[in-house]
Structures are given as structure tokens and as C-alpha cells.
Homo-oligomer: A and B are copies of this chain.
Amino acid sequence: MPFTYSIEATRNLATTERCIQDIRNAPVRNRSTQFQLAQQNMLAYTFGEVIPGFASAGINGMNYRDVIGRPVENAVTEGTHFFRDDFRVDSNAKAKVAGDIFEIVSSAVMWNCAARWNSLMVGEGWRSQPRYSRPTLSPSPRRQVAVLNLPRSFDWVSLLVPESQEVIEEFRAGLRKDGLGLPTSTPDLAVVVLPEEFQNDEMWREEIAGLTRPNQILLSGAYQRLQGRVQPGEISLAVAFKRSLRSDRLYQPLYEANVMQLLLEGKLGAPKVEFEVHTLAPEGTNAFVTYEAASLYGLAEGRSAVHRAIRELYVPPTAADLARRFFAFLNERMELVNG
């Protein structure tokens, strides 16, 4: 499965494995979709043997926006090849798939970073290909992490150990008496401290070679292994991925960060909740200003150590930059965990 479109590779695909599915004779009720962008097949096609940042220097250092755009590009090439002038997909289809791909590929990059990091933490040394500078934090198996790409409809509270969930539940019970609530949703990705019971599992130290369907399932299902096993202070990082920004599309992360900070810092005594937003097209500077907003919870309490709700709006230039930055983050943040 090639990163660069290959007519030979495409020809060898079973129709169910193709990036474009012709559904003109099996339409979805109430939709006019003629061709589907089979997003999981697209990932397997373009990234089946490639994880950016852990591939060739050419890909690791390639403009990340172009890397992320490649699956749709390849799919359109395939669709045009098979269906010529009949082929058409709505811009909203590309938008949806491009967004999911940015999230899934970035999660995979961070998954491999975590694998490499964990391998160092258990005393296996620092892998050298491709080369990243070795973190300086003193290794400890207790400082391993898990990268969790969280699914649609998720509630990040379900990651927490039962005792912590109960604290939140009691708090909510009080609110419910007044017809109020404080629903939680989710960031796209969470980095958590690897619970003790998994610290000898090799799977958390294995870099994946590509986003084959089995590896997609491994990464997208990883969260299930950790539900109910994370301490409030062990949610080390939350990330929202937005391929491009619009001024009205900035607020789900901003709001969720505020809620996480109220519950984790305010009710559960956790240290600062690190929540960041990644994008490839910020479209102006307004978003950077919006994300300077102070965390409302800290403000209202009149605390001295008020901080931003969103720690940073990050625009990864290349996959290698994303990886380097994540290693640096781990090197700093994991010092909080007793080695």
C-alpha cells in the first residue's frame, strides 16, 4: 500500500478494499451520495506502510498539510480512474474525511512516540531510527504513557477510577436537584499515565508500521483498556484536532477544557490540565487570541495560579516536528510522576 498513488496497487485491490465505493445502486436512505470515500480503506492505502515521523526522511520532513491531504488526493485519483466523468463527491464528504484523517494520523504519530518513550522508560534504551534526541528524564516504568484516540460520543470521565467518578457523580447529583447538570464530552485524544497493571505489557512499547485495518482497530480501541483505571492527575494531555479553523469552530475544546479544569483541578485536586488544539490552517490570528482565554474556574475562585484553558494552538509544520514536540512535552510533564 503506497503513500504515492500507484495504479498497480489500486488494480490489485478487492473492490471492498478500494478507496471509492460506488453506491449508486445501493443508496443510503435520505441521501444523494453516489460515491463514498471509504476512509478506513483510504488510510490503509496511503498509510498502510507509513507512519509519518517514523517513516522515510522524505515523509517525516514533508509539509504535514500535504501529508494529511494525500489520502483524499489518492482516492480522487482512484475515483477518476474507475468512473471518469461520473465521479463526484461533495465537498462535505472530503471535509469529513480530511478531518478524521488528520485526527487518526496524528494519533498514530503520537502512538509511536509513546511506544518509543515507553521503551526508554522500561530501560530498553533509546531507539535511533528515525533519529530524535534522547529525552533526559530519568527512566521509570511508572512513567510510561498511553495515547488514546477517543471515539465519537465518548465521555472522558469514564477513564477515571471509580472513586473519582463517584466524586463527580455526587457533585452532579447536587446539581440535578436544581435541574442543572455539568455534562462532559471529550477531547479527540488523551495521553494518560499507563496504569500499573499494564506496565509490563509489550504492546505499549511497539511502534506500528502503518495504519493497516488491524492497526487502526488497535489504536481506536485502546481507550477501552484504560477505562476506569486512570487517576485524575494522570490525564497528562488532552488534544483537539481541527484540520482548519473558523471563528465559530473554536469553542468545543475551549469549553471542554474549562469543564475538565473545574472537575479535575477543582473537585479532584489534580494538577494543571494541559489541553491543546492542533490545526493545519489557522486562517488568521484571531484563534490565537481566542485561546488566550483564562480558565474560568480558576478566575472565579480568585486563585493566584490562574492559567489558560487552552495551553497552545499548535500548527505542526511536519510530522517530525509534531513528534519532537511531543517528546519534549513528555520529558517535561512526566517528571510529575514519581519515578
Contacts and interface: CB of A to CB of B under 8 A. Distances in A.
Number of copies: 2
A258 interface: yes
A335 interface: no
Nearest to A290: B183
Contacts of A185: 247, 290
A180 B308 CA distance: 6
A297 interface: yes
Nearest to A172: B294
A270 to B, nearest CB: 15
A73 B266 CA distance: 51
Contacts of A252: 248, 250-251
B289 A183 contact: yes
A298 to B, nearest CB: 8
Nearest to A180: B294
Interface string A277-299: 00000000000011011101101
B91 A175 contact: no
21 contacts: A92-B92, A175-B306, A179-B308, A180-B292, A180-B307, A180-B308, A181-B293, A181-B294, A183-B289, A183-B293, A185-B290, A251-B254, A251-B255, A254-B255, A262-B296, A262-B300, A296-B296, A296-B297, A296-B300, A297-B299, A297-B300
The 10 A-B residue pairs whose C-beta atoms are closest, nearest first, are A300-B300, A251-B251, A181-B292, A180-B294, A251-B252, A251-B255, A255-B255, A297-B300, A296-B296, A300-B301
